[in-house]
A = this chain, B = another copy of it.
Amino acid sequence: MSLVAVGTVAIDAIETPFGKVDKISGGSGHYIAWTASNFTKEVKVVAVVGGDFPMEEIAQLKERGVDFEGLQIKENEKSFFWAGKYHMDMNSRDTLVTDLNVLAEFDPILPQSYKSPDFVLLGNLTPAVQQRLLDQLENKPKLIALDTMNYWIQDPQFRPALDKVLTQIDVLIINDEEARMLGNHHSVVKCARKILAEMGPKFVIVKKGEHGALLFHKDHIFFAPALPLEEVFDPTGAGDTFAGGFMGYLDMTQDVSFENMKRAIIYGSAMASFCVEKFGPKRLMELSIPEIKQRVQDFIDLVQFDIEVKN
């Protein structure tokens, strides 16, 4: 088993109605590493950081078995920096600052040991960086998943590259707003079906934040709820955590059937429900396996019912 994940490893500043933090570790690659390493011991990260990133957190991840041979460290430069502010309903946020820093020139070079993974997760980065990673693979992985965002969907400068990379992946993971942009229709269901029919991915996962997630494949739809929480403390990284849990579970089980993807989505949702409980990745950093098992059981209890339809 092995999961290669490319993403950002960043410094974030976060403000929510419950508090504020000026400097905390973050980035899609960071959340994916913390999450997926609960499931598979073969997480291989491709990313770039500056000298300002707290390297003791990388050391902690290495202790969990995460492979950072693909991490480029630019000692004299600054890490990617993102600052955002959430409002009371937590479904909308304002991006206050995006400083690309080391990310501006990022070329994801794969070490030899990364070139034949079972699973690949392309975290949200420019389509060109995602493509560059795919171009270095020496064997076709069991499954490639990709996350993307509004910038690359809407900007005609990036869209052709995104369209091209979409034809080479298996699972597209996006939120409902991004699905509407990509499918160019207000109905998320229509957009997901259009993406499946015309754009390349064989599976589309639409994340709806506190309203759960939908998995589309052929004519099938699976719905996973989000856990109803009294408070969402900080949603930063929840989407990356979901993706990390989903792909970590798939790599652990080595099973890419639709039935197993349902399970992977429940595990991803469970992990995301932890992520939002504290600032940044803090809750993920203290998480135990029994807690994860209990949370998955909570999801089972939340949606399980027993109806036998008789004809």
Interface residues of A (CB under 8 A from B): 88-89, 186-190, 193, 208, 211-212, 214, 220-225, 228-231, 259, 262-263, 266, 290, 293, 296-297, 300-303, 305-307, 309-311
B208 adjacent to A305 (CB under 8 Å): no
For A309, what are the chain B residues with a Cβ–Cβ distance below 8 Å?
Answer: 293, 296-297, 300
For A193, what are the chain B residues with a Cβ–Cβ distance below 8 Å?
Answer: 230
For A88, what are the chain B residues with a Cβ–Cβ distance below 8 Å?
Answer: 186
Query: What separation, in Å, do the CA atoms of A208 and B234 have in the docked complex?
Result: 22
In the assembled complex, the CB of A93 is this many whole angstroms from the nearest CB of chain B, namely 16
A290 adjacent to B311 (CB under 8 Å): yes
B263 adjacent to A230 (CB under 8 Å): no
B211 adjacent to A305 (CB under 8 Å): no
**Assuming the A-B contacts A88-B186, A266-B307, A309-B297, are A302 and B222 also in contact, with contact meaning beta carbons closer than 8 angstroms in the complex?**
yes
A223 adjacent to B303 (CB under 8 Å): yes
For A214, what are the chain B residues with a Cβ–Cβ distance below 8 Å?
Answer: 228
Query: Told that A223-B225, A266-B305 touch, could you supply 12 new A-B pairs with CB distance under 8 A?
Result: A189-B228, A189-B229, A193-B230, A212-B212, A212-B225, A221-B228, A222-B302, A223-B302, A263-B306, A293-B309, A300-B307, A303-B303
For A211, what are the chain B residues with a Cβ–Cβ distance below 8 Å?
Answer: 208, 211-212
Query: What separation, in Å, do the CA atoms of A49 and B193 have in the docked complex?
Result: 45
A296 adjacent to B307 (CB under 8 Å): yes
Nearest CB in chain B to that of A191: its residue:
B230
Contact of A306 (CB < 8 Å), options: B186, B228, B259: B259
Query: What separation, in Å, do the CA atoms of A309 and B221 have in the docked complex?
Result: 24
Nearest CB in chain B to that of A292: its residue:
B309
For A190, what are the chain B residues with a Cβ–Cβ distance below 8 Å?
Answer: 230-231
B228 adjacent to A225 (CB under 8 Å): no
**Assuming the A-B contacts A88-B186, A259-B306, are A225 and B225 also in contact, with contact meaning beta carbons closer than 8 angstroms in the complex?**
yes
For A208, what are the chain B residues with a Cβ–Cβ distance below 8 Å?
Answer: 211
Nearest CB in chain B to that of A185: its residue:
B230
Nearest CB in chain B to that of A190: its residue:
B230
**Assuming the A-B contacts A222-B302, A300-B307, A302-B221, are A230 and B189 also in contact, with contact meaning beta carbons closer than 8 angstroms in the complex?**
yes
For A263, what are the chain B residues with a Cβ–Cβ distance below 8 Å?
Answer: 305-307
**Assuming the A-B contacts A189-B230, A228-B188, A228-B189, are A293 and B311 also in contact, with contact meaning beta carbons closer than 8 angstroms in the complex?**
yes
In the assembled complex, the CB of A167 is this many whole angstroms from the nearest CB of chain B, namely 24
Which of A193, A228, A297, A311 counts the most chain B CB atoms within 10 A? A228
**Can you sample 27 A-B contacts with CB below 8 Å?**
A88-B186, A89-B186, A187-B230, A188-B228, A189-B229, A190-B230, A190-B231, A211-B211, A211-B212, A212-B225, A214-B228, A221-B228, A222-B302, A222-B303, A222-B305, A223-B228, A223-B302, A224-B303, A224-B305, A225-B225, A259-B305, A259-B306, A263-B305, A263-B306, A263-B307, A296-B307, A297-B309
